[in-house]
């Protein structure tokens, strides 16, 4: 049943219609955690293995090894040859892939559900039986460096790499999973073996299975294929060995001149780890500020003032402290100072005046709809469960996010904004074109003057109303 | 919003896989729906109405395909179809752009307006209990867009900004040069949206194009989701029964008769450490009789990801690129067969050499029986993945119906894939994938691309091309 009452409406989906299935989990004796989410309706299954290792577990000297290792995982084991994993998955109409992030490395495959056993066979084999030799290392090292160069040749990726370096000094988050070109050249086969033995083990992984599957069937396959694997004999990755707080920033304003034509300015703020109790409020603030064309930033920055062509926001969640950001892309005939000032004004307005109950309700509504649209996809469900498990420490949080959002209040949101998004915590990130087009500079100044005159005119008019 | 959206996690072993799967994603697949569930009728004016009940979630996916697209824009106005489609969402009926955005965001609805080469699709994803509101919005978007001059101006700025942002991407620079070179800049396949063509578009062009869009012959209204089918079909029939019949769309467009081949286009980007290579020549269209043979054959050559011949030769054995793929058009109108990769500058000529060797050998020898069998199994199984969500099903159905392939294309898809023979796949390779008549586009430092151009001239003359 849906109730629409003007713009303050809340949505409620009748329980009989909504998919109310919940994920379940069990722990195997070797430490492997298995999460299962049954989803009937379409004969598709997703099997994902999430390792609790990413670039966060690297150190200077081996930066990039987690990602390099992800590549090595496709180069065969004692039982399967190079690229055999992908070939077998594709031969039944599935696809496989992997990604490395700061806090995790994930291997995933989606395939017709009747072939569910195949990924269990393949993933369990490479978890402990990977074949590593220097020939494979040399080939993959070159491929990874090619990928790195591709990012360096893209100004937006380059900006991300450079901003991270400055935003998280003294912490492994200062580099991306791409690592460092010099370190990549130095990584040896022994480094790889050491990395593999330490991090690739059932007690450092989470197996997630979603789709047209049954929990008992998953349990049988898990025990058959992963059950015989031994836990890591090495010291398990120790969270305490990783710094949890980034070092002190040298500069609160980071400006880059890059080979791009569309400048972007972002106001960034450090925020607590993903599991922190203030994160739901920050996520909702992101929605209110930047989700959709009715968001505050789009309305003020794009539609009304026309200072920007795009407005955006993000809550970068990490195991250790993350980053909150609001930003705008603007045509070069606008002045960056004016765009930046307008962004700041909107953030300050949240702190000063708070948000409305309607805005909060809209964020809840959007989340409800997103959850329903997303639940058609087994891959989407597995991804959400994995992120919640590895970043927040509990996969149930993926399914209960609406409860946390519904418990928020406008006053609570204002207080959270005041706590984290104040001007003294702000870091300005600016990516601008290398080449200055003076025509654009002049047009920008004229636009600023025009805006000032218009504002004065509106103010004067208001005196006489 | 509930799911953790992390801008930093895109580091993916197979970034090109996005491209690969997008490519594969355009292929046809069967859909496990019972014909008895489908309501399909053609209104007296020619408008087709299709309703497919799906009660997996309390959601509805509405789509309207209008039978004109980017290819129908007048000369010098490329981008008109996209602008027209997007502008329909910026205010329609009694709501201006801000009010429409506010309503959609409050509902958690997703509004869609996309122009493809041969058609335009408008639509709305909504929760089932909001079907009434969604139908009202869709009606307004299709029939009563406001075409507000302020929104038009903003949308043009956003389009220009998007073009500026893309110009930082070497792949984009290659793509916008290759098609016009192969087909001629005024042909449907060779037209490119540029700052110049977007600036040339006027509001009267948009209004005229919208009238062109509103023709019933070839148009389709499709509804998939948690609906009562008879009622939904009746409402769609009432909504679209008054559209003027118009004339049937003219697809496929013909291939220009005079085309230049064996060109080498250099795009100078001095600061790049890699060169991006895009190679192409006229390829087949979706409606050609050997489509399935070509599909299977292209999988073996370069669309099969890590199991493809190009990937094995250029990446897995040589480590010369992060990824390489080949692609064919999925439009009724024939378009490019192309091969794309990026390689470090010093490996450009060796990579080109390997790529051309693979093409020549493949055209001469064709695929093996095992390669054909694996490709066929892939496509037969992959249809389950490609039709997992109602949105995916809607996209495929619309295209099949629009191209006149009918529901039969769904139900006979596995048979059609199965009917491909090794001889047929070899013939497709010989016809479409040989290295004859290729045009090369190289984006990189001038000295590097010039060296490759000279090498290509020599090697291809030596080889009699």
Look at residue B463 in the predicted model and tell me its pLDDT: 52
Task: Confirm if B281 and B439 have CB atoms less than 8 A apart.
Answer: yes
pLDDT for A414 beyond 90: yes
Do B300 and B227 have their domain in common? Answer: no
B175 falls within a domain: yes
pLDDT for B245 beyond 50: yes
pLDDT for A1 beyond 70: no
Place of tokens 């072993």: B13
Number of domains in chain B: 2
A42, B387: Cβ pair inside 8 Å? yes
Chain B partners within 8 Å of A163 (Cβ): none
Chain B partners within 8 Å of A11 (Cβ): 107-108, 127, 129-130
B85 falls within a domain: yes
Chosen CATH of A24-241 out of 3.10.20.740, 3.30.830.10, 3.40.50.11060, 3.40.50.12280: 3.30.830.10
Look at residue A232 in the predicted model and tell me its pLDDT: 86
Do B196 and B313 have their domain in common? Answer: no
Question: Rounded to whole angstroms, how far apart are CA atoms A377 and A189?
Answer: 39
Region B83-101: mean pLDDT is 97
Q: Looking at chain A from residue 319 to 378, which residues have their Cβ under 8 Å from any Cβ of chain B?
A: 329-332, 358, 361-363, 365-378
ipTM for the assembly: 0.87
Closest-CA residue in chain A for B109?
A369
pLDDT for A25 beyond 50: yes
Do B194 and B281 have their domain in common? Answer: no
For residue range A127-177, list pLDDT tens digits in order.
989 988 898 899 899 989 989 998 888 888 999 999 999 999 999 999 999
pLDDT for B94 beyond 80: yes
Look at residue B130 in the predicted model and tell me its pLDDT: 96
Look at residue A261 in the predicted model and tell me its pLDDT: 87
- Residues ≥6 apart with Cβ < 8 Å to B411: B30, B35
Do B287 and B231 have their domain in common? Answer: no
Question: Rounded to whole angstroms, how far apart are CA atoms A163 and A347?
Answer: 21
Least confident of A11-20, A287-296, A387-396, B450-459: A11-20
Look at residue A446 in the predicted model and tell me its pLDDT: 65
For residue range B408-437, list pLDDT tens digits in order.
898 888 899 999 999 999 999 999 999 999
**DSSP secondary structure string, B414-450?**
HHHHHT--HHHHHHHHHHHSSSTT-EEEEEE-HHHHH
Its domain, for residue B227, covers 37-240
Tell me the β-bridge partners of B42.
Answer: B48
A156, B168: Cβ pair inside 8 Å? yes
Q: Please check whether the two domains, A24-241 and A253-463, share a CATH topology.
A: yes
Look at residue A385 in the predicted model and tell me its pLDDT: 98
Do B268 and B322 have their domain in common? Answer: yes
Do B201 and B316 have their domain in common? Answer: no
For residue range B174-210, list pLDDT tens digits in order.
999 999 999 988 888 899 999 999 999 999 999 999 9
Do B205 and B282 have their domain in common? Answer: no
pLDDT for A227 beyond 70: yes
- Find the CATH number of the domain harbouring B168: 3.30.830.10
Question: Rounded to whole angstroms, how far apart are CA atoms A246 and A114?
Answer: 47
pLDDT for A61 beyond 60: yes
Look at residue A233 in the predicted model and tell me its pLDDT: 78
B285 falls within a domain: yes
Look at residue B411 in the predicted model and tell me its pLDDT: 83
B106 falls within a domain: yes
Q: Does B204 touch chain A (CB under 8 A)?
A: no
Look at residue B462 in the predicted model and tell me its pLDDT: 55
For residue range B226-237, list pLDDT tens digits in order.
999 999 999 999
Using a pLDDT cut of 70, give the percent of chain A over it: 86
Look at residue B1 in the predicted model and tell me its pLDDT: 32
Look at residue B310 in the predicted model and tell me its pLDDT: 96
Do B221 and B309 have their domain in common? Answer: no
- Site from B5, B6, B104 to mutate, A interface, most A CB atoms within 10 angstroms: B6
Least confident of A302-311, A315-324, B102-111, B250-259: B250-259
Do B309 and B176 have their domain in common? Answer: no
Chain A partners within 8 Å of B379 (Cβ): 93
Q: Does B133 touch chain A (CB under 8 A)?
A: yes
Do B268 and B226 have their domain in common? Answer: no
| C-beta atoms surrounding A296 within 10 Å | 21
In Å, how far are A6, A92, B48, B221, B240 from B135, measured between CA atoms? Answer: 18, 40, 17, 11, 12
CATH topology of domain A253-463: Cytochrome Bc1 Complex; Chain A, domain 1 (3.30.830)
Q: Looking at chain B from residue 93 to 132, which residues have their Cβ under 8 Å from any Cβ of chain A?
A: 97-98, 101-110, 125-130
pLDDT for A438 beyond 90: no
Q: Residue length, chain A?
A: 465
Look at residue B465 in the predicted model and tell me its pLDDT: 46
Q: Looking at chain A from residue 28 to 67, which residues have their Cβ under 8 Å from any Cβ of chain B?
A: 40-44, 67
Q: Does B350 touch chain A (CB under 8 A)?
A: no
* Of B223 and A240, more confident: B223
| C-beta atoms surrounding A164 within 10 Å | 19
Question: Rounded to whole angstroms, how far apart are CA atoms B73 and B84?
Answer: 10
Q: Using CA of residue A181, residue A182, residue A185, residue A189, what is the dihedral sign?
A: negative
Q: Where are the domains of chain A?
A: 24-241, 253-463
Do B207 and B277 have their domain in common? Answer: no
Q: Does B320 touch chain A (CB under 8 A)?
A: yes
Q: How far apart are the first and last CA of chain A?
A: 45
Least confident of A2-11, B336-345, B435-444: A2-11
Region A59-77: mean pLDDT is 94
Look at residue A259 in the predicted model and tell me its pLDDT: 86
Give the model's confidence band at A7: pLDDT under 50 very low, under 70 low, under 90 confident, else very high: very low
Question: Rounded to whole angstroms, how far apart are CA atoms A332 and A265?
Answer: 12
Closest-CA residue in chain A for B169?
A154
Look at residue B194 in the predicted model and tell me its pLDDT: 94
| Average pLDDT along chain B | 89
Do B199 and B279 have their domain in common? Answer: no
Region A425-434: mean pLDDT is 94
Question: Rounded to whole angstroms, how far apart are CA atoms A290 and B123?
Answer: 23
């Amino acid at each position: 049943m849906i109730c629409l009452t003007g713009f303050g409406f809340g949505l409620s989906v009748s329980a009989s219609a909504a998919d109310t299935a919940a994920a379940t989990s069990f722990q195997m004796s070797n430490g492997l955690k298995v999460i299962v989410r049954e989803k009937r309706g379409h004969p598709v299954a997703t099997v994902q293995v999430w390792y609790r290792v990413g670039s966060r577990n690297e150190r200077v000297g081996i930066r990039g090894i987690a990602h390099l290792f992800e590549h090595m995982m496709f180069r065969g084991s004692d039982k399967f040859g190079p690229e055999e994993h992908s070939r077998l998955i594709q031969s039944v109409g599935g696809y496989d892939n992997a990604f490395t992030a700061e806090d995790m490395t994930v291997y995933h495959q989606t395939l017709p559900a009747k072939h569910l056993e195949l990924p269990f066979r393949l993933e369990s084999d490479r978890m402990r039986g990977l074949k590593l030799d220097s020939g494979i290392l040399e080939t993959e090292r070159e491929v990874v460096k090619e990928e790195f160069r591709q990012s360096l040749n893209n100004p937006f990726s380059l900006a991300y790499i450079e901003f991270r370096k400055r935003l998280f000094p003294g912490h492994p988050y200062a580099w991306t999973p791409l690592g460092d070109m010099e370190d990549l050249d130095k990584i040896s086969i022994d480094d790889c073996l050491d990395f593999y033995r330490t991090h690739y083990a059932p007690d450092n992984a989470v197996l997630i299975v979603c789709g047209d599957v049954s929990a008992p069937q998953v349990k049988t396959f898990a025990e058959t294929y992963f059950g015989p694997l031994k836990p890591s004999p090495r010291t398990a990755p120790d969270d305490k060995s990783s710094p949890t707080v980034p070092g002190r920033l040298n500069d609160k304003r980071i400006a880059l001149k890059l080979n791009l034509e569309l400048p972007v300015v972002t106001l960034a703020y450090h925020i607590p780890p993903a599991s922190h109790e203030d994160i739901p409020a920050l996520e909702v603030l992101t929605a209110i500020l930047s989700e959709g064309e009715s968001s505050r930033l789009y309305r003020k920055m794009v539609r009304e003032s026309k200072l920007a062509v795009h407005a955006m926001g993000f809550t970068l969640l990490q195991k250790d402290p993350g980053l909150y950001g609001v930003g705008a892309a603007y045509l070069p005939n606008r002045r960056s100072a004016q765009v930046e000032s307008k962004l700041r004004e909107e953030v300050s307005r949240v702190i000063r005046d708070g948000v409305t109950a309607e805005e909060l309700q809209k964020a809840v509504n959007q989340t409800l709809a997103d959850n329903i649209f997303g639940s058609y996809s087994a891959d989407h469900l597995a991804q959400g469960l994995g992120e919640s498990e590895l970043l927040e420490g509990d996969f149930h949080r993926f399914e209960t996010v609406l409860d946390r959002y519904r418990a928020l209040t406008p006053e609570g949101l204002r207080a959270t904004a005041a706590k984290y998004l104040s001007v003294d915590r702000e870091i300005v990130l600016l990516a601008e074109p290398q080449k200055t087009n003076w025509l654009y500079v002049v047009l920008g100044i004229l636009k600023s003057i025009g805006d000032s005159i218009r504002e004065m005119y509106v103010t004067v008019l208001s005196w006489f109303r | 919003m509930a799911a953790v959206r992390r801008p930093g996690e895109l580091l993916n072993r197979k970034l090109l896989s996005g491209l690969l799967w997008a490519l594969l994603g355009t292929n046809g697949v069967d859909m496990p729906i019972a014909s008895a569930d489908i309501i399909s009728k053609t209104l007296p004016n020619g408008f087709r109405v299709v309703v497919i009940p799906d009660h997996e979630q309390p959601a509805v996916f509405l789509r309207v395909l209008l039978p004109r697209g980017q290819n129908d824009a007048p000369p010098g106005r490329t981008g008109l179809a996209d602008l027209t489609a997007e502008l329909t969402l910026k205010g329609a009926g009694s709501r201006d752009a801000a009010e429409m955005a506010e309503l959609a965001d409050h509902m958690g609805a997703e509004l869609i307006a996309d122009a493809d080469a041969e058609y335009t699709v408008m639509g709305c994803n909504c929760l089932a209990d909001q079907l009434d509101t969604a139908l009202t919005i869709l009606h307004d978007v299709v029939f009563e867009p406001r075409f507000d001059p302020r929104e038009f101006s903003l949308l043009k700025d956003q389009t220009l900004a998007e073009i500026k942002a893309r110009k930082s991407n070497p792949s984009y620079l290659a793509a916008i040069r290759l098609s016009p070179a192969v087909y001629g800049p005024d042909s449907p396949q060779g037209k490119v949206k540029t700052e110049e063509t977007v600036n040339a578009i006027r509001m009267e062009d948009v209004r005229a194009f919208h009238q062109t869009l509103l023709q019933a012959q070839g148009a389709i209204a499709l509804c998939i989701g948690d609906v009562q089918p008879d009622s939904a079909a009746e409402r769609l029939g009432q909504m679209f029964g008054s559209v003027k019949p118009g004339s049937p769309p003219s697809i496929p467009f013909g291939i220009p008769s005079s085309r230049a081949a064996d060109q080498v286009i250099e795009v100078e980007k001095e600061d790049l450490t890699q060169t991006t290579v895009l190679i192409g020549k006229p390829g087949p269209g979706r409606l050609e009789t050997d489509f399935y043979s070509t599909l299977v054959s292209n999988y073996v050559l370069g669309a099969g990801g890590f199991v493809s011949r190009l990937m094995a030769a250029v990446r897995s054995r040589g480590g010369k690129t992060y990824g390489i793929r080949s692609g064919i058009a999925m439009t009724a109108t024939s378009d490019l067969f192309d091969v794309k990769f990026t390689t470090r500058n010093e490996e450009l000529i060796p990579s080109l050499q390997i790529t051309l060797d693979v093409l020549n050998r493949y055209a001469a020898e064709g695929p093996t029986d095992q390669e054909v069998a694996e490709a066929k199994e892939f496509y037969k199984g992959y249809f389950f993945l490609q039709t997992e969500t109602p949105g995916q099903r809607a996209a495929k159905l619309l295209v099949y119906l629009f191209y006149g392939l009918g529901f039969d294309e769904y139900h006979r898809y596995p048979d059609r894939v199965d009917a491909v023979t090794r001889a047929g796949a070899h013939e497709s390779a010989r016809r479409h994938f040989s290295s004859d008549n290729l045009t090369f586009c190289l984006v990189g430092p001038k000295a590097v691309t010039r060296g490759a151009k000279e090498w290509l001239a020599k090697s291809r003359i030596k080889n009699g091309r």
